[in-house]
Amino acid sequence: MKNNCKLQVFDAVGKMVFEEQSKIQPPYYTKNLNCVNYKKGVYLVVLQTDVERLVKKFVVE
């Protein structure tokens, strides 16, 4: 059964720099993000599904 999924990336000031909605087949989800055009700094990636919300930090150097 596929779940609705929304993937968002926010910069350090809270501006959304990426958003994508799709359907995923739990328990696995893989997405390669091209961060070449992102400025150096800390970003938050948010993955929201029908049943959970995951938030992780990553750094662009």
Tens-place pLDDT, residues 18-56: 999 998 887 778 889 999 999 999 999 999 988 889 999
Q: Is the pLDDT of residue 5 over 80?
A: yes
Whole-Å CA distances, 13 to 18, 26, 29, 49: 14, 31, 27, 24
pTM score, whole prediction: 0.88
Torsion angle, alpha carbons of 11, 13, 46, 39, to 10: 0
CB distance 10 to 19 below 8 Å? no
Q: Does domain 3-60 have CATH number 1.10.10.10?
A: no
Q: CB burial class (10 A; 0-12, 13-18, 19+) of residue 23?
A: exposed
pLDDT of residue 2: 81
Residue 1 CA to residue 19 CA, distance in Å, equals: 23
